[in-house]
Amino acid sequence: MSRIVVWAAVLAAFVAVPFYLEGFWLQTGLFAMSAAVGAIGINLLTGATGQLSMGHAFFLALGAYAYVYFAAEPTRTLGGLGLPTPLAAVLAVLLAGAAGGLFSPIAGRLKGAYLGIATLALIFGGQHVLFNAEPVTGGFNGRAVPPLEVFGFVFADTPELVVLDVPFGVLERLWFLGGLALLGSALFARGVLRGRPGRAMNTIRDHEIAAGVMGVPVTRYRAAVFVLSSMYGGLAGVLLALVFQRTVPDYFGILLSLDYLAMIVIGGLGSVGGAVIGAAFVSLLPQLLTRYSDALPLVAPPGSGGVSPAEAARILYGAAIVAVVLFLPGGLLGLLRSLRQRLPGLRLSPLPTPSPETRSSHVR
């Protein structure tokens, strides 16, 4: 019963947000949702299967740019296919998956650090293409993103739409789409993790040879998870493009990839909830610090010297990664769970995801 109340409250709060909060918060929230979708993807790969990937930003870029290319009408300088936008979105996600598949000779054979650094090649190679393939990508300045249109409903500021006296612009409309995409992604990933594939993935992470002995096709699994994670990256990219309304190649660099790794470590490795919490933390922290820099001690307002909010956010975020690994092996999600266990009233059903410290290993 209490669980239903909690979920109903979450739902009501979610529905209420676009009616009350201004554009800035909606935009930040949407970036967080897109980040959460991407983080779920990388958590399947890195958290659950133990494959380090630094190339996640590449798949976001692929999703974003593919959507733009498929959906845009060709112009004098820029190519485009002018497909219906929902189809373009689906194709963009599939393309990201296909690219992940093309990388599978490497993704399947390499593991751990080797894969991590090999995927750096995707970032650098990808950005090189983004900058140079101007007819497709628009080069340095990127391209404008055509708004999504589903059954005549356009996710843009025009035509005007007023719901309950509140004007519904692009951000308000996308809010619900983003929520649906996140919910779908989360449920699917939860299904994967709780089922047979999830167990196989965890075994590969914890003990590769044992997994092989038990009949798990290790190489195929690694490649398959890589493809799945790429598709999540692609979907996050499509969402990001829709919110951004513009794709810029600079954004899809190594820092973005590092952000995703930070999200899953901070939130909690190997679970959907961890990815979502981590994504929210990493996306919201700098915005909150900047917004309220005047009111915070130790943080100087921008332009006044001292530690600026952006720097404070970077330092806090770096320190959070270190602190979580040192003190909270289960991430923020693990912390929430242990809090809940101390407050029996809030107790939810125990989740079967193993926490990292139960993993066997020959490491000190």
Partner 1 sequence: MITFLELLVNGISIGAVYALIALGFVVIFKATEVVNFAHASLLLAGGYVVARLHPHVGFWLALLIGVAAAALIGALVEFLIIRRSKASSHGVLAIVTIGVDIVLTTELTRQIGAEVLAMGDPWESGVLHIGGVTIAETRIVALVTATVLIAAFLLAFKFTGWGVAMRATAEDPETAALMGVRLGRVSLSAWAVAGALAAVAALFLCVFPTPGLDRSSSLAALKAFPAAILGGLDSTTGALVGGLIVGVTEALMTGYQDDLSFLGRGIGDVAPFLVMIVILLLRPAGLFGTKELARV
Partner 2 sequence: MSVDRTAVVAALAALTLAATACASDKATGGGQAPATAAAGGDGVKTGPGVTAGTITLSMLTDLTGPYASFGKSLTQAQQLYFEQVNQAGGICGRKVETVVRDHGYDAQKAMASYAEVAPKTAAIPHFIGSPMVTALKEKITSDRILTIPMAWATGLLGSQAIQVTGTTYDIDMINAVDFLVKEKGIKAGDKVGHLYFEGDYGQSSLDGSKYATGKLGLTLVEQKVKATDQDMTAQVAAFKKAGVKAVLVSVGPRQTASLVGVALASGMDVPFVGSNSAYSPQLLATPAAPALLKDFYYVTSGAPISAPLPAYEKLIADYQAKYAGQPLDSGVSAGWTAALIVGDALKKACEAKDLSREGIIAAHRSQKAWEAGLGGSPMDFSVYDRPASRASYVVKPDKDAVGGAKIHKEAAVSDLAKDYTVPSAG
Give CA torsion, residues 91, 95, 96, 101, to 10 deg. Answer: 140
Q: Is 58 in the site for partner 2 (CB under 8 A)?
A: no
Closest separation in Å from C-beta 282 to partner 2: 12
Place of tokens 């090189």: 128
Whole-number minimum distance, CB 357 to partner 2, in Å? 35
Where does this chain bind partner 1 (CB under 8 A)? 46, 50-52, 105-106, 109-110, 112-114, 116-118, 120-121, 124-125, 128-129, 131-133, 205, 208-209, 212-213, 254, 258, 261-262, 265, 269, 307, 311, 314-315, 317-322, 325-326, 329, 356-357, 359, 361-364
Least distance CB 39 / partner 2 (angstroms): 16
Q: Residues with Cβ < 8 Å from 358, sequence gap 6 or more?
A: none
Residue among 125 and 195 whose Cβ is closer to partner 1: 125
Partner from partner 1, partner 2, none contacting 15, C-beta within 5 to 8 A by type: partner 2
**17 or 129: CB nearest partner 1:** 129
Distance in Å, CB of 129 to partner 1, minimum: 7
**Smallest distance from the beta carbon of 11 to partner 2, in angstroms?**
6
Q: Which residue number, 82 or 112, has a Cβ lying nearer to partner 1?
A: 112
What does the H/E/C string look like for the chain? CHHHHHHHHHHHHHHHHHHHCCHHHHHHHHHHHHHHHHHHHHHHHHHHCCCCCCCHHHHHHHHHHHHHHHHCCCCCCCCCCCCCHHHHHHHHHHHHHHHHHHCHHHHHHCCHHHHHHHHHHHHHHHHHHHHHCHHHHCHHHCEECCCCEECCEECCCCCCCEECCEECCHHHHHHHHHHHHHHHHHHHHHHHHHCHHHHHHHHHHHCHHHHHHCCCCHHHHHHHHHHHHHHHHHHHHHHHHHHHCEECHHHCCHHHHHHHHHHHHHHCCCCHHHHHHHHHHHHHHHHHHHHCCCCCCCCCCCCCCCCCHHHHHHHHHHHHHHHHHHHCCCHHHHHHHHHHHHCHHHCCCCCCCCCHHHCCCCCC
Which of partner 2, partner 1, none does residue 220 bind to, with CB < 5 to 8 Å depending on kind? none
Among 19, 114, 153, 292, binds partner 2 (CB under 8 A): 19
Which of 186, 246, 321, 347 forms a contact with partner 2 (CB under 8 A)? 246
Minimum distance from residue 54 beta carbon to partner 1 (Å): 9
CA distance 160 to 193: 42
Q: Does 147 bind partner 2 (CB under 8 A)?
A: no
Please tell me the distance from the alpha carbon of residue 200 to that of residue 214, in angstroms, as a whole number. Answer: 9
Q: How far apart are CA 324 and CA 113, in angstroms?
A: 21
Q: Which is nearer to partner 1, 88 or 332 (CB)?
A: 332
Using the minimum distance from each CB to partner 2, give the nearer residue, 87 or 315. Answer: 315
In the list partner 1, partner 2, none, the entry touching 114 (Cβ below 5 to 8 angstroms by class) is partner 1
* Closest CB 309 distance from partner 1, rounded Å: 12
Nearer residue to partner 1 within complex by CB, 184 or 306: 306
Q: Is 287 in the site for partner 2 (CB under 8 A)?
A: yes
261 touches, from partner 1, partner 2, none (C-beta below 5 to 8 Å by class): partner 1
Residues that bind partner 2 (CB under 8 A): 1, 4-5, 7-9, 11-12, 15-16, 19-24, 27-28, 31, 75-77, 131, 139-142, 144, 157, 164-167, 169, 171-172, 244-246, 248, 250-251, 286-287, 290-291, 301-303, 308-311, 314
